Structure formats: C-alpha cells, structure tokens
Amino acid sequence: MTDSSGASRPETLEQWAGPARADQARKLTQLTVLFTDIIGSTAICNDLGDKRWIEMLINHFASARRLLQRFDCYEIKIIGDSFMVAFKNAVDALQFASAFLHDTGDEQIKIRAGIHAGAARIIGNDLYGGMVNYASRVMSWHREEGIALSDNAKDQVENEEGAAEARKLFIRVSHKFPDYEDDKILWRVNCSDYWDRRIRQDFPTLEELSKIEGKLNYVVSAATAEDIPWIAEIEAVAYTEDAVPLHRLQKWHAQNPDGFSIVKTNSGHKVGHFDILPLRPGPLQSLLEGEIAESDLEPDTLYAPSEKALIKDLYIESIIIAEPDHSSRSSAIHAVLSNFQPLVRRMCDPTKLENVYAMAATTEGERFMRQIGFQQVRDGSERLDHHPFFAARYDDIAVNINNILGR
C-alpha cells in the first residue's frame, strides 16, 4: 500500500499507530477520531432508487479516499454511509473534514462531521472505548451540514493555529447528550462559504464584525414609550404579516420596559432596535412547542422588573438594523453585540440566566443567531407560526460574542 507520493503506507492500524504498542488491548493510544455522515441519506435513496444511490455512495467514498492520501491517517471503516478515520492530531482531521465538506463526490451529497481527540484502545484494525463513542456523538449532535469538534479537539487546533485564529474559526455550543451527566462544550466550525450558499443577502460575517475597531458610530439605549410606535413600524416592514401589532408591543413595554432598546447613530438618528422578553416558563414552553404565536403572548406572561431575580430564560423578540449600507450595518450590529451583556444585566441576574431563545423570521436573522451559538430546537413545520425556533446557552453566547469582539 502506498500514498500519493509513492511511499509505503502501514498495512494495519497497529503499525500506523506506532511500534510501542505491542499489547494494544491493555494500552491506551492518544488519537483523533473523525466521523462523517451523509445528511438525509434515507430520503435521497428513496427518491433516486438503489442503483443511483449506490453510484453516489461509491463516488462519495472514492472522494474521501483521494483526500485521505494527503494526510497521515488510517481509515477504520465504513458504517452504512458514515466514514470513520483515525488521525494523529485534530489539525489534520479538521483539514480533511473541511476538504471533504467541499468535495463529497456528488453535489447532492451534504455531510456533517464530528472530531474528538482522546485515548482509545486498538484491537485488530479497529478502535474501542468511550472516546470513540463520544466522537460519534459529536458528529451526530447536529442535523445540518458542517463540522463540530469536541473541547479536546478544539484545544489541539487552537494550540497549533493560535487563539486569534480560533476566535474566528469556532462557535461555542453547549449540548446535553443522553447518558452523560453534564452539558458538554462543543465547537462548531464557522463555514463562511456555507452561509454564502444559503444566504445571499448583504449581511456581515464574523470576520467583518471582528475587524471593526475604534470608536463606534452607534449607541444602544433604553427604549421609551414614545419609541414603541417606531419599533412597530420597522417590524411591520421587516416581518410583514408576522409583525407584532403596536398595541401588543405597548403592553409588553408597559409590563417590563427593561428589554426594549433602540440603536441610534451618535447624532441621535434611529437605525434599529433590540427587544428581549423575560418570559415565564409556562408561556415560553407553549411558544417553543408552537402552541401559540408570538403575538398571543399576554403582558402577564412577562416577568416584571421587580421579579428580575426569578428570570432564568430570555426570548429575543426582534433585532432589526435598518441601515442599508453594508459597512454601517456591520458597525450597528457590532454595537448591539457590544451592548448585549449590559442589556442582559439590566434585565436580570446573568449568573442565574440559563437559556436564550429566538425565532428565525428571516434568513438574515437565522444567520445572525447561528453565528453567536444558537441551534434549532423546533422545526417550523411543528409550530403554529411555521418559523423554526432556536435556543442557546447564555454562557455560550457570551463567549462567542466576546470572541467576535476580540475580548
């Protein structure tokens, strides 16, 4: 067996892992494991039929094996349409996953990948142990195209590439896996070209936001009752039939004004707003499940300012930046991110805050949420308003925002 340079490649996993592993069943080997999986494979197979599906799979795995020739790695096995490979380090595993994401062998095939680094046991030509099980979980935690790394794997990449590069590359997301006691920290790779394919509107990327320096041209301040009609107007333009009516916004503001903010230029011109609702658990769950629409939320479903110590969850009702110029828009969004944690402190005790929820009424809004760590928790087809529902741990949002801002 030879690689692309003609050099001999190890015949067995044991040989590849190194000579100092004579009794593999009792010795742990530090490795990085990568799993990939085809998204929606059953639906594709049912749609195209077995013959075409098998052709696609052959091309898919042939593409993977061509890419593997570039790296010091070992193909463990194929499990259905999932691919398992061992690497010496997470840097190579991430480079392979990124390349495979772009060249899956067929344009209809999209993949998700998971990478974890740790200690496993080699038995025969396979790997065993909890590390392997967890690597598989890292791959399967999300249902969309992309790459996720465990905390261990991310640390290896950060040590190699540096903290500055890691801040641009990774988005932190906590996840609760079945059979694991504590929430696990995962890192989603910021695949900018993936967003370019999905969202073609003029919206700033993480890289653009992180490059904004110096004095900001925008300020964020508490919204007054006189600002609410203007907020209703820009929501009506942005959301059309989904817009919350003025009378509802006014009642929410009267119940708890702390979550309503206006984005202005330094000269005082309004360019956007940022509304957060401190919802009580029952109404929040009904909204999440899709049993009620956002505009059905009564004022008493919000905690009052006097109850801020009870708030554990927040719901982002709306973020709108009406600046048409791309650079101005980026700067205004940067101002919102810079003020997010102070706004939260205005509403509640951040040390008690657990989750932040939001809906994606627009594709731009979805992109913004995903860039700061939100994940979809309900599909739009399951909800009364037909919009997907998203959630994120507050601690993850805070880390991701600080990374964007270079803090």
Residues 6+ apart with CB under 8 A from 246: 228, 229, 232
- All domains of the chain in start order, with CATH: 13-189 (3.30.70.1230), 206-405 (3.40.630.30)
For Cα atoms 219, 221, 218, give the angle at the middle one, nearest 5 degrees: 10
For Cα atoms 107, 109, 113, give the angle at the middle one, nearest 5 degrees: 125
Q: Helix 41-48 crosses helix 50-68 at what angle (to 10 degrees)?
A: 130
| Among candidate residues 178, 180, 156, 158, the one with its CA nearest the CA of residue 168 | 158
Q: Does 238 or 34 have the greater pLDDT score?
A: 34
Q: How confident is the model at residue 26 (pLDDT cuts 50, 70, 90)?
A: low
Counted residue by residue, the chain has a size of 407
Using alpha carbons, list the distances in angstroms from residue 284 to 195, 306, 332, 333, 389: 29, 19, 29, 26, 11
The whole-angstrom separation of Cα 30 and Cα 50 is 39
Residue 156 has pLDDT above 90, yes or no: yes
Contact between residue 111 and residue 37 where contact means Cβ atoms under 8 Å apart: yes
Contact between residue 86 and residue 104 where contact means Cβ atoms under 8 Å apart: no
Give the per-residue pLDDT at 368: 78
What tens digit of pLDDT does each residue of 121-151 get? Answer: 998 889 999 999 999 999 988 778 889 999 9
What tens digit of pLDDT does each residue of 28-79 get? Answer: 889 999 999 999 999 999 999 999 999 999 999 999 999 999 999 999 999 9
Query: Which H or E run includes 122?
Result: strand 111-123
Q: Helix 394-405 crosses helix 326-347 at what angle (to 10 degrees)?
A: 140
Quick one: tokens of 162? 């540096």
| Among candidate residues 256, 284, 259, the one with its CA nearest the CA of residue 274 | 259
Segments of 164-245 assigned E as strands: 170-175, 184-189, 218-222
Residue 367 has pLDDT above 90, yes or no: no
For Cα atoms 311, 313, 166, give the angle at the middle one, nearest 5 degrees: 125
Torsion region of 57: left, alpha or beta (phi above 0 gives left; psi -120 to 50 gives alpha): alpha
Residue 199 has pLDDT above 50, yes or no: no
DSSP calls for 93-116: HHHHHHHHHH--SSTT--EEEEEE
Contact between residue 89 and residue 32 where contact means Cβ atoms under 8 Å apart: yes
Contact between residue 110 and residue 38 where contact means Cβ atoms under 8 Å apart: yes
| Among candidate residues 356, 365, 278, the one with its CA nearest the CA of residue 319 | 365
Give the per-residue pLDDT at 22: 43
Share of the chain above pLDDT 90, in %: 62
